[in-house]
Amino acid sequence: MMSVQTWLLYSFLILGVRAETNIVTSSGTKLLDVNDTDWLHECVPPFVNNQGKSKKTSIKSKFTSIEYSNYLLLAKPSGLCADFLTCAFSKCDMSLASAESLYTQLKLNETTYEDIKDKLPPLNLPDHILFPRNVKDIVEIVEHAGSKCLSVSIKNGGHSYHGASTQAGSIQLNMREFPKYSETSIVECVSGNTGNACKLALARSKNATIRVGGGELWDSVYRAVLNYPLPVSSTQTPRYDVVGGAAGTVSAIGGWMQGGGESIGDERMYGFGVDQVLELEMVLADGSHIKFGPTEWEVETKFMYPRTIKVEGLCNSNVLSSEESDWQWESCTSEIPFDQLWKAVRGGGGGTYGIVTAATYQLHPHKPLHQFAMTKASATALGTNCELQQNCVQADKAIVFFFMDLLFNPELVGLDEDTSNGCGHPGFSFEITTYRPLFCREPLKVKEAWIEYVKKLDGLDNLQEVLLALFSFELIGTYAQLLISKGGEWDLAPAGKMNDYPPPSPYPSTVGCWSILVPKYNLKYKTDEIWSFLKYFGGSSHVIGGKTSVAHDQMTAMNPIQRESGLQACIPERGYEEVVRGILLPTYNALNPNQTFPGGTEYNHISNILFGPLKSNHAKPCPEKKDYSWQKENCVSIEESVWGTTILIELELIKKKVDPHNMFKCYRCIGYDNVGCKAGQTSAPSPAASSATRSGPSFPPNIMIIVNIVTTVMIYIIF
- φ, ψ (nearest 5 deg) of residue 473: -110, 145
Q: How many residues does the chain have?
A: 719
Mean pLDDT in consecutive groups of 10 residues from the start of the chain, 719 residues: 38 41 91 97 93 52 80 98 96 90 84 94 97 98 96 96 96 98 96 87 98 98 95 82 97 98 98 99 98 98 98 97 94 97 98 98 98 88 91 94 97 98 95 85 97 96 95 94 83 91 90 96 92 85 98 99 98 95 97 98 97 98 96 98 98 98 97 78 43 41 38 34
Residue where a domain terminates, one of 310, 338, 365: 365
One domain, residues 356 and 443: no
445 and 393 part of one domain: yes
Element housing 361 (H / E): strand 355-362
Residues 303 and 191 in one domain: yes
C-beta of residue 154 within 8 angstroms of C-beta of residue 350: yes
Same domain, 264 and 336: yes
Residues 6+ away with beta carbon under 8 Å from 354 = 282, 283, 284, 285, 341, 345, 658, 659, 664
Q: 191 and 327 share a domain?
A: yes
Is the same domain home to 275 and 339?
yes
Residue 528 is assigned to a structural domain of this protein: no
Those residues whose C-beta lies under 8 Å from the C-beta of residue 610, and which sit 6 or more positions away, are: 512, 513, 514, 622, 624, 638
pLDDT at position 376 is 83
Which one of 419, 446, 477 terminates a domain? 477
d(CA 363, CA 201): 9
pLDDT score for 712: 35
C-alpha 707/C-alpha 494 separation (Å) is 45
**Which domain CATH number covers 340?**
3.30.465.10
Rounded Cα gap, residues 152 and 216, in angstroms: 19
Secondary structure (DSSP) of 504-552: PBSS-TTTT-EEEEEEGGGGG---HHHHHHHHHTTT-BEE--TTTTTSS
Does residue 337 form part of some domain? Answer: yes
Residue 452 C-beta-side C-alpha neighbours within 13 Å:
12
Consecutive H or E run containing 650: helix 638-658
384: in domain: yes
Single pTM value for the model: 0.91
Collapsed DSSP state (helix, strand, coil) of residue 49:
helix
Q: Is 390 helix (H, G, I), strand (E, B) or coil?
A: coil
Q: Is residue 598 part of a domain?
A: no
Residue 655 lies in a domain: no
473 CB-near residues (< 8 Å, 6+ apart): 370, 371, 372, 373, 440, 443, 444, 446, 447
Residue 259 lies in a domain: yes
Strands 240-241 and 277-283: unpaired
Q: Is 408 part of any domain?
A: yes
Q: What are phi and psi of 41, to 5 degrees?
A: -80, -35
The pLDDT score that the predictor gives to residue 431 is: 82
Q: Check whether residue 192 and residue 318 sit in a common domain.
A: yes
Q: Are 324 and 278 in contact (CB under 8 A)?
A: no
Same domain, 426 and 446: yes
Q: Are residues 328 and 217 in the same domain?
A: yes
Q: Which residues span the domain enclosing 198?
A: 182-365
Task: Say yes or no: 300 and 382 in one domain.
Answer: no
Query: How many angstroms separate the CA atoms of 447 and 467, rounded?
Result: 12
Gap between the Cα atoms of 352 and 339, Å rounded? 17
Residues 227, 208 within the same domain: yes
Angle at alpha carbon of residue 97, lines to 93 and 98, rounded to 5°? 50
State how many domains the chain has.
3
**Bond from prior residue into 613 cis (ω within 30 degrees of 0):** no
pLDDT digits (tens, 9 = 90+) for 106-120: 788 899 999 999 999
Distance separating alpha carbons of residues 417 and 622, to the nearest angstrom: 39
How far is 230 from 236, CA to CA, in rounded Å? 7
- Let me know whether 355 and 391 are in one domain: no
CA 186 to each of CA 57, 230, 361: distance values in angstroms, whole numbers, following the listed order: 50, 12, 10
- Residues contacting residue 686 through CB under 8 Å, at least 6 positions apart: 139, 143, 286, 287, 288, 289, 315, 319, 694
The residue out of 326, 345, 365 marking a domain boundary is 365
H/E stretch holding 62 reads: helix 59-62
